Amino acid sequence: MSERTEDGVAGRGLAMDLARDRDGDIDLQAYWRLLLDRRWVVLGVVGAVLACALALTLLTTPVYRALATIQIERDTIKVINSEGLTSADSAFDRDFYQTQYELLRSRSLALRVIQDLKLIEHPHFGEMIGDSGDSGPDAMRLRQQALVGPVLGALTIEPVRNSQLVRINFDSSDPELAARVANAYADGFITSNIEGRFDASSYAVRYLEERLAELKGRLEDSERELVVFAQQEQIISLGDDQPSLSARNLSELSASLARAQGERIKAEAEWRQAMLGSGLGLPQVVDNNLIQGLRQSRAVLAGQYQENLRVYKPDYPAMQQLQGQISEIDRQIASEVGNIRASLDARFQSSSAEEALLNERIEVLKSDVLDLSSRSIGYNILKRDTATNQELYDGLLQRYKEIGVAGGIGANNISVVDRAEI
């Protein structure tokens, strides 16, 4: 045994020595002769490897891969304003796409595909889970859940770099089954996405309906309280940004008082002027045609009287007649001047009375306005509360209408680019 070993070692050493020439270079002919000497060993090893590979190939079940390609867009086409129903991620947020990939690998989507294709009835998967003989809902659900692991094990999600495309690969020994499952994954993912958006809008609609009913009740209560308070406090509203009746009357009477004061001051000045002297210099006397005619007649009679004094004495009948005429004219002039003075006095008294009456009325209105201002504090609080409830109700009602329209639109950001083929 030791001699053979030594001979083998010696042979290998000799062969290595033969493979090198005197200069230390490798001799290929020596290697070739060595292979020829051991050709049966080499051929035996190669034949054994080929036989094992052939046997393994013949015994291995062939696996077929089906490929479906989908496109996942970041944002959908916005037909109406339906923001706030789903999460508002940034357009540059990579978490969005990573979330979509994980949803494709989710157990819920796998269970959906199993249920849609009824894979528990397929022979390929039926062998994996067996048949318990129980066809009840619970047993069927358990068998479906048992297939989730094998289905996910045969699934491969392959995102395409720098694009919105995702490849859905499914491996199976049945090529038709592989294509069906890959396409079912694409369709199921799109349906799940639409259902998620629809569920979000449905939840928002239900929530807004509850809030609208609550706000409607609050609005009706606040309007009712506002009307009752206005009736109790006798508050009459003329509209927004409009003064109350008392304030409007006070403004009008203040303007009338200013006008009455001006007239009273003017009448008082004229009356004081009329009380001084004979009053013949008053503008009203100067402009009076009757008085001016009487004065002219008096001047004529006075001239005749002075001229007749040269001939007759004052007690002469003709002279006494002229004197009587002059006296009568003086009486008439004095009477007319008295009438003018009385008129100015009456005007002054009337202006004073009107001014006093306006002052009294204004004082009453001032008290009313101040009292109304005090009572309007509670009224304004109720009015603002009513306006706030009205704005909230109108805003929610508009939002409810928008979401109601959005619920009927199948907005989807996922589409199938290539369906899997057998």
Whether the CB-CB separation of 47 and 145 falls below 8 Å is answered with: no
Q: What are the extents of the domains in the chain?
A: 2-59, 64-212+411-418, 245-407
pTM over 0.75: no
241: left (phi over 0), alpha (psi -120 to 50) or beta: left
How many residues are listed for the chain in this entry?
422
**279 backbone φψ class: left, alpha, beta (φ>0; ψ -120 to 50):** left
Q: Write out the chain in H/E/C secondary structure.
A: CHHHHHHHHHHHHHHHHHCECCCCCECHHHHHHHHHHCHHHHHHHHHHHHHHHHHHHHHCCCCEEEEEEEEECCCCCCCCCCCCCCCCCCCCCCHHHHHHHHHHCCHHHHHHHHHHHCHHHCHHHHHHHCCCCCCCHHHHHHHHHHCHHHHHHCEEEEECCCCCEEEEEEEECCHHHHHHHHHHHHHHHHHHHHHHHHHHHHHHHHHHHHHHHHHHHHHHHHHHHHHHHHHHHCCCCCCCCCCCHHHHHHHHHHHHHHHHHHHHHHHHHHHHHHHCCCCCCCHHHHCCHHHHHHHHHHHHHHHHHHHHCCCCCCCCHHHHHHHHHHHHHHHHHHHHHHHHHHHHHHHHHHHHHHHHHHHHHHHHHHHHHHHHHHHHHHHHHHHHHHHHHHHHHHHHHHHHHHHHHHHCCCCCCEEEEECCCC
Query: CA 231, CA 205: separation in Å to the nearest integer?
Result: 39
Please tell me the distance from the alpha carbon of residue 388 to that of residue 386, in angstroms, as a whole number: 5
Decide: 82 and 198 in contact? Cβ < 8 Å.
Answer: no
Count CB-CB contacts under 10 A for residue 264: 20
Token pair of 21 as six digits: 């020439």
Q: Residue 414: which residues within 8 A CB-CB, separation 6 or more?
A: 70, 71, 72, 73, 189, 190, 193
Q: What is the pLDDT of residues 174-203, one digit of tens each?
A: 888 889 989 999 998 888 888 777 777 777
At residue 188, φ and ψ (nearest 5 deg) are -65, -35
Other CB atoms within a 10 A radius of the CB of residue 140 amount to 14
The answer to whether 30 and 18 have CB atoms below 8 angstroms apart is yes
Q: pLDDT tens track of the chain, all 422 residues?
A: 444 444 444 444 544 454 454 455 567 788 788 878 888 888 888 888 988 888 777 666 788 898 999 998 876 544 444 455 444 444 446 788 888 889 989 999 989 898 888 888 877 776 666 665 556 777 788 888 888 888 888 899 999 988 889 999 999 888 888 899 899 999 988 888 887 777 777 777 777 778 878 888 888 888 888 777 777 766 666 555 555 556 666 677 777 777 877 777 877 776 666 666 666 656 766 677 777 787 788 888 788 878 877 877 878 787 888 888 888 887 887 777 777 777 777 887 888 888 788 787 877 767 766 666 666 667 677 778 888 888 887 887 787 777 665 554 445 788 888 898 88
Degrees (nearest 5) of the Cα angle 267, 269, 272? 105
**What is the 3-state secondary structure of 185-196?**
HHHHHHHHHHHH
* Ramachandran category for residue 6: left, alpha or beta (phi over 0 → left; psi -120 to 50 → alpha): alpha
Q: What is the rounded CA–CA span in Å between residue 338 and residue 285?
A: 10
Rounded Cα gap, residues 102 and 336, in angstroms: 115
Tens digit of each residue's pLDDT (9 = 90 or more) over 215-258: 888 888 888 887 777 777 666 665 555 555 566 666 777 777 77
How many Cβ atoms sit within 10 Å of the Cβ of residue 410?
8
